[in-house]
């Protein structure tokens, strides 16, 4: 089975108008000293996550083939369709009518879509007509706390 993505919607419409505070210091995975001064600014998630919001979309990852790249089942992927895919990029590809998320590897005689989990096989594409690159994955939203605790309900895969 090929892991796939579920389209959530255009990023511009999902994130428009939602400004969140961004604290102006780096968190070294510890707790800052109460004596430290810091500033906050309001950040548009489109600016933070996407260079080209009009050419981007969000999709939900389904499956375990990219866990080694930090993409887990249920994560939300920000995908930029305006970026040309380069060797080594993680891409959303359509192979023979099925969508998949894999690392792109260009070879002289083929293109290989490589999973980031050794339990899955690479997809070798020799005929360029069998492959469409839908975009480059530029960011992964990976929840660390369950939806119930956050009080948030997202669009779930069908």
Contact 140, 70 (CB under 8 A): yes
- Residue 65 is a catalytic residue: yes
The Cα-based distances of 148 to 76, 91, 142, 144 in angstroms read: 17, 30, 15, 12
Rounded Cα–Cα distance for residues 79 and 144 (Å): 21
Per the structure block, which two tokens stand in for 15?
Answer: 């994130």
Active-site residue flag, 153: no
Query: Cα torsion at 42, 48, 54, 59 (round to 10°)?
Result: -120
Which of 13, 56, 82, 102 does the annotation list as catalytic?
A: 102
Locate tokens 């989990």: which residue? 117
The one catalytic residue in 56, 65, 110, 121 is 65
**Residues classed as catalytic:** 65, 102
């Amino acid at each position: 089975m090929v892991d796939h993505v579920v389209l959530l919607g255009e990023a511009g419409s999902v994130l428009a108008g939602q400004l969140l505070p961004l604290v102006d210091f780096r968190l070294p995975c510890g707790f800052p000293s109460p004596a430290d001064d810091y500033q906050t600014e309001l950040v548009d998630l489109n600016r933070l996550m996407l260079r080209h919001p009009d050419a981007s979309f969000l999709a939900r990852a389904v499956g375990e083939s990219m866990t080694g790249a930090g993409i887990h089942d249920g994560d939300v992927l920000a995908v930029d369709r305006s970026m040309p895919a380069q060797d080594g990029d993680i891409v959303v590809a359509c192979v023979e009518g099925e969508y998949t998320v894999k690392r792109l590897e260009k070879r002289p005689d083929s293109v290989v879509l490589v999973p980031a989990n050794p339990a899955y096989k690479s997809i070798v594409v020799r005929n360029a007509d069998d492959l469409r690159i839908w975009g480059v994955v530029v960011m992964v939203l990976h929840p660390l706390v369950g939806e119930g605790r956050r009080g948030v309900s997202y669009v779930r895969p069908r």
